[in-house]
Chain A
């Protein structure tokens, strides 16, 4: 199905994200076990697995919302170490979309999109606003720019959150269950926004249970269980014939 969304994966450049032997513990609980994963520029990855399997922890480690205990993590060529100084600079190029949107409630949608470009990237206000309107149009909520987050529906809020991230012009976008908190009728509009983004060649890592989305846009599906990457496969192969018994059981559960 990936043929429906042709794009270029650049495997010659160094990977955008490179994880080698990443481990993490919460107390005695082993949250990530020996994670090895490279994400090439332009690649779209979907992470799935039962809850508590470590998939959210994995993508939250990439921008160090969670720190890793051991292993090597490189993002855009820069090695990330717990407590490092230049973390803010690395994060500027890593967009993140949260399950609960986390829009800034005291700012308008437009201000949500301009606050970081203006204060972090030092983009002039006029230019930042033009860029914000461009992305808000792309996610089809330009007419909501002057409203506050609480005045928008869940789907609109999530699209606003996506455009807020895009305004920083990131090199990779991380999505942490972006549709899990949405009413069913709003899931589609957010997924379509994400598919559009994938079509434009954005490097994406998406934690989601939306297997239709995975089938349509993923280059690789990663199945995690108990903090471990159990299976990495192209979506067609993964959905038709999962090798791991745990993956098979998981797919059976969520497909019904």
Chain B
């Protein structure tokens, strides 16, 4: 079978497997770093957006708007290919990490804002009347309640960022996709690309299911 030999060549898949695994580890490290960095920066950004003095708030709004509108690929190319002209040079990994987490931070900030604003005013008042300083109340009372609403969309955004790590191959980072492309060229057969696709699927499909589960659970909790 011509088709199977071309796209699902078992022999080639086996030989490319170790190379793909090396790419996968790069992808996972990039994804995890971006998600952690982007999420924390996003929460911070959201608190600035909500509670900082007015001019600083507006800066946060500008940042959030800009990075929600800017395609990650464009940002990545700007960082990797344009910044060197002003003497700022980042490795492909750092460039990808910056681009991904800067965009994720903007989306996370919006998700967190919705989560915090979803907590009834009475909760803020109850914390305040017990003598809790604002940030203590935020930490002990407000955020724990907001998190329940925030987790599903946050996970969803994280999945999106995980997928977008593939963009790093454009700046020659040896991620899963780049390794697959190189192997495909080396072995003159597209099977490694299929292998990469299967690995992405195997990794992310369970996470997609988890989001679905969390959303359904939240719905049940709200019905109560």
Asked if B145 CB lies within 8 Å of chain A CBs, one says: yes
Q: Which of B120, B123, B140 contacts A115 (CB 8 A)?
A: B140
CA distance A165 to B148 in the complex (A): 26
- Between B128, B131, B133, B145, the greatest number of chain A beta carbons within 10 A of the residue's beta carbon is seen for B131
- Inter-chain contacts of A95 with B (CB < 8 A): 129
Asked if A133 CB lies within 8 Å of chain B CBs, one says: no
Asked if B122 CB lies within 8 Å of chain A CBs, one says: yes
CA distance A100 to B128 in the complex (A): 16
Binds B, one of A45-53, A86-94, A189-197: A86-94
Asked if B209 CB lies within 8 Å of chain A CBs, one says: no
Given contacts A115-B140, A119-B140, A120-B136, contact A102 B130 (CB under 8 A): no
Contacting pair B144 A164 (CB below 8 A): no
CA distance A26 to B203 in the complex (A): 55
Asked if A245 CB lies within 8 Å of chain B CBs, one says: no
- Inter-chain contacts of B224 with A (CB < 8 A): 150
Contacting pair A98 B132 (CB below 8 A): no
A78 vs chain B, min Cβ distance (A):
13
Residue of B nearest to A97 (CB): B129
Asked if B5 CB lies within 8 Å of chain A CBs, one says: no
Contacting pair A88 B126 (CB below 8 A): no
State the interface size on chain A (CB cutoff 8 A): 26
CA distance A94 to B148 in the complex (A): 31
Contacting pair B132 A88 (CB below 8 A): yes
Contacting pair A91 B126 (CB below 8 A): no
Asked if A104 CB lies within 8 Å of chain B CBs, one says: yes
Residue of B nearest to A118 (CB): B140
Contacting pair A89 B131 (CB below 8 A): yes
Contacting pair B129 A63 (CB below 8 A): yes
Which residues of chain B in 95-130 are interfacial with respect to chain A, using CB atoms and an 8 Å cutoff? Answer: 120, 122-123, 125-130
Contacting pair B145 A106 (CB below 8 A): yes
Asked if B41 CB lies within 8 Å of chain A CBs, one says: no
Given contacts A115-B140, A119-B140, A150-B224, contact A88 B133 (CB under 8 A): yes
Q: What are the interface flags for B201-224 relative to A under an 8 Å C-beta threshold, 1 for contact and 0 otherwise? A: 000000000000000000000001
- Inter-chain contacts of B132 with A (CB < 8 A): 88, 116, 119-120
Asked if A128 CB lies within 8 Å of chain B CBs, one says: no
Contacting pair A168 B131 (CB below 8 A): yes
CA distance A55 to B183 in the complex (A): 76
Contacting pair A116 B122 (CB below 8 A): no
B32 vs chain A, min Cβ distance (A):
28
Asked if B141 CB lies within 8 Å of chain A CBs, one says: yes
CA distance A102 to B137 in the complex (A): 14
- Between A89, A92, A103, A105, the greatest number of chain B beta carbons within 10 A of the residue's beta carbon is seen for A105
B53 vs chain A, min Cβ distance (A):
13
Q: Which of B123, B131, B144 contacts A102 (CB 8 A)?
A: B123
Residue of B nearest to A116 (CB): B130
Residue of A nearest to B121 (CB): A102
Q: Which of A96, A104, A115, A121 contacts B129 (CB 8 A)?
A: A96
A103 vs chain B, min Cβ distance (A):
8
Contacting pair A100 B122 (CB below 8 A): yes
Asked if A65 CB lies within 8 Å of chain B CBs, one says: yes
- Inter-chain contacts of B145 with A (CB < 8 A): 104-106
Given contacts A102-B126, A119-B136, A120-B136, contact A91 B141 (CB under 8 A): no
Given contacts A115-B140, A120-B136, contact A98 B130 (CB under 8 A): no
Interface residues of B (CB under 8 A from A): 120, 122-123, 125-133, 136, 140-141, 144-145, 148, 224
Interface residues of A (CB under 8 A from B): 63, 65, 88-89, 91-96, 98, 100, 102-106, 115-116, 119-121, 150, 164-165, 168
